[in-house]
Amino acid sequence: QQMVLQTVAGSVELMRQSGLHPADLRNRVTSPAGTTAAGTLVLERAGVRSALIDAVDTAYRRSKELGGDDSDA
């Protein structure tokens, strides 16, 4: 668990400092046939990207509903 937390925290800090898009950063640090590539492939096959996008969009829209904001999302 600690390794995962440190990896995520390091990735976020690297994105902040570099200003790179997350996909560009991933491409720079991913070795072909390495651990990141293998894990990313599993996530892509499982549709995690679209699920995360849908989850964030749904939460955002619900937040606007609860906040009484009638503007377009």
Per-residue pLDDT reduced to its tens digit, 9-61: 998 999 999 999 989 998 998 999 999 899 999 999 999 999 999 999 999 99
Q: Is the pTM of this model over 0.75?
A: no
Claim to verify: residue 37 and residue 70 sit in the same structural domain: yes
Enclosing domain of residue 14: 1-30
Claim to verify: residue 26 and residue 37 sit in the same structural domain: no
- Would you place residue 6 in the very low, low, confident or very high pLDDT band (cuts 50, 70, 90)? very high
Contact 37, 31 (CB under 8 A): yes
* Structure-block tokens of residue 51: 């699920």
Alpha carbon 35 to its chain's center: 17
pLDDT for residue 70:
58
Number of domains in the chain: 2
- Would you place residue 72 in the very low, low, confident or very high pLDDT band (cuts 50, 70, 90)? low
